[in-house]
Amino acid sequence: MTSLVDRPVKSDPDIFETEHRLRQGNYMRGESRNLRNLLEDDLALVVSLDLQMDFIVTELERLYREGLRAYGDPIIVNGKYEVEVREDRGKTPCPWGDRFFAPKTVVSARNLENGTILKYSLLGLHMIKRHGFFQGAQSPFRIEPSLLKKFFDL
């Protein structure tokens, strides 16, 4: 999780550029808050839910790695999660402009004990990890912090 020091501050030129790029793509669709407020709101949400993002990111990465071994078929991880990794060809450059290229991979995971379903893409995972960005409320790939809490039984 990025620390507050690395978070963009009001009138940082980078954040205007980034927000512009995010809005051109599907990352902040129909979002009325600006990027900075969105980041702050989600950070507050993470704090109030008491989510340890380092742990969550590591777990999400692990589920992806385990799921990958089934080449697209569903696989049970730890007897607790059913994971299916879908890969499409091509790569998406991270819209934050950090020269990261995410493979077009989506992980669908189901917690078998409580039935919670979580879908996340590798790009989405990267953006949480590196930029503290969960995406706009109506973005098709938003990762909802409260869903993470439910999914991992925290």
Partner 1 sequence: MQEVGAFVIFFASIFTSNILLTNFLGMCSYLSVSREIRTAWGLGIAVVFVMTITSVANYFVYYYMLVPLQLEYLEYIAFIIVIAALVQVVEMIIERTSDRLYASLGIFLPLITVNCAVLGAALFLIIRKYDFYQSLAYGAGSGIGWMLAIMALAGIRAKMARRSKVIPALEGPGIVLIVTGIIALGFIGFSGIVQIN
Partner 2 sequence: MVSIDYFIPALSMASLATSLAVIILLAEHFLMDYGEVELQVNDKTFKVKGGSTVLGTLKQEKIFLPSACGGRATCAYCKVKAVTGFGDILPTEAPLLTKEEVSQNIRLACQIKVKNNCAVTIPEELFSIKEFTARLDSVEYLTYDIKHFKFKLLSPSEIDFKAGQYVQFQSPPYGEVSESVYRAYSMSGRADARDVIELMVRLVPEGICTTYMFNHLKVGHEVSLTGPYGDFFLRDTDRKMVCIAGGSGMAPIRSILSGMTTGDIEKRRPVFLFGARARRDLFLLSEWAEFEAKHPGFRFIPALSGQEPGDDWSGETGRITDVIAKYVPDGRDFEAYLCGSPGMLNACVDVLRNLGVNEERIFYDKFG
Ligand X SMILES: Cc1cc2nc3c(=O)[nH]c(=O)nc-3n(C[C@H](O)[C@H](O)[C@H](O)COP(=O)(O)OP(=O)(O)OC[C@H]3O[C@@H](n4cnc5c(N)ncnc54)[C@H](O)[C@@H]3O)c2cc1C
Residues making contact with ligand X (CB under 6 A): 26-27, 88-90, 92, 104-106, 121, 123-124, 135, 139, 141
Cα angle value 101/119/41 (rounded, 5°):
80
Please give the structure tokens belonging to residue 118.
């979580």
- Binding at 27: pick from ligand X, partner 2, Zn ion, none (beta carbon under 5-8 Å per type): ligand X
Nearest approach in angstroms of CB 15 to partner 1 is: 8
If one asks whether residue 17 binds Zn ion (CB under 5 A), the answer comes out as: no
DSSP-derived secondary structure letter, 41: H
Pairwise CA distance, residues 55 & 96, whole Å: 23
- Binding at 100: pick from Zn ion, ligand X, partner 1, none (beta carbon under 5-8 Å per type): Zn ion
| 83 beta partners | 75, 109
Of 8-47, binders to partner 1 (CB under 8 A) are 8-14, 16-17
* 5 versus 90: smaller Cβ distance to partner 1: 5
Q: Taking the alpha carbons of 93, 96, 97, 99 in that order, is the dihedral positive or negative?
A: negative
Give me the residues that bind Zn ion (CB under 5 A), please.
94, 96, 98, 100, 130
